[in-house]
Amino acid sequence: MIFLNEINIEGFSIINNVYTENEIEKLISLIENKTENDSDNSTFRKSQDLFAIRQFHKEIPETLSFIFNQNLKEIIDSNFGKGYFITKSIYFDKAEKSNWFVAYHQDLTISVDKKIEAENFDNWTVKQNQFAVQPPVEILENNFTIRIHIDKTTKDNGALKVINNSHSKGILRIENLDFENEKETICEVEQGGIMIMKPLLFHASNKTTNNERRRVIHIEFSKQLLPEGLEWSEKMIIQNN
């Protein structure tokens, strides 16, 4: 399962049938059990349009054995090689009648354990005692994200739309993209499929229009060391990878 050429050229790849129906049901059960029994958790974000769990792999570690099934481990190994670890994970649950949308953007920050002076680490922020920073572009260029689709995702329930190959242009302001000459793709994914994407790929999502739920597990990966004194705040080694 080699998709690296497509990922390098387009900035993303969609791979269906990564998870069985039984594996998806197990993930749903573990997530629902956590949310029902830990409703006041500070890593939860709740609104009328969206429910999210930050630091997902730490909050529900029981999911990891199902997430990293043989299919996913082979996809990571064959396309990116050994040595990658989790740096961040979020679970999104976009409600059936959600008006939540996200404008075009690049993923420019990483989560780290503290704030220190480091060359080319800029735009520091802190949320819920977790620091985020924009690292040197080389770090972003070498990372990747996998989005696991718990539900079938279409243009009608907020599938990501992307600007093909926009990751190759470095860090850009959105107004500097010539949309008339860019190719836009709506990334529809079947239940149990995944989308792999590069952080610098411009991506967005629309409101839900078909009353269908969209649940996604978003996991970011790296194998890069940070400057001395700085560490990935959510770092977790992938077992048996």
pLDDT in tens, 197-206: 999 999 999 9
pLDDT (0 to 100) of residue 241? 47
pLDDT (0 to 100) of residue 190? 98
Ordered by where they begin, the domains of the chain are: 4-237 (2.60.120.620)
Q: What does each of the 241 residues of the chain score in pLDDT, given as a tens digit?
A: 789 999 999 999 999 999 999 999 999 999 999 887 665 665 566 666 568 899 999 999 999 999 999 999 999 999 999 999 999 999 998 887 777 789 999 999 999 999 999 999 999 999 877 899 999 999 999 999 999 999 999 999 999 999 999 999 999 998 998 888 999 999 999 999 999 999 999 999 998 889 899 999 999 999 999 998 899 999 999 876 4
The residues that bridge with 217 in the sheet, in sequence order, are 91, 148
Report the candidate in 213, 149, 152, 146 with the shortest Cα–Cα distance to residue 19: 149
pLDDT (0 to 100) of residue 45? 60
Residue 233: CB atoms within 10 A of its CB come to: 18
Global confidence as pTM: 0.93
pLDDT in tens, 16-74: 999 999 999 999 999 999 887 665 665 566 666 568 899 999 999 999 999 999 999 99
pLDDT (0 to 100) of residue 48? 60
Structure tokens belonging to residue 180: 């008339």
Put the strands of the sheet holding 110-112 in their side by side order. 110-112, 130-134, 122-127
Distance CA 76, CA 94 (A): 27
pLDDT (0 to 100) of residue 128? 74
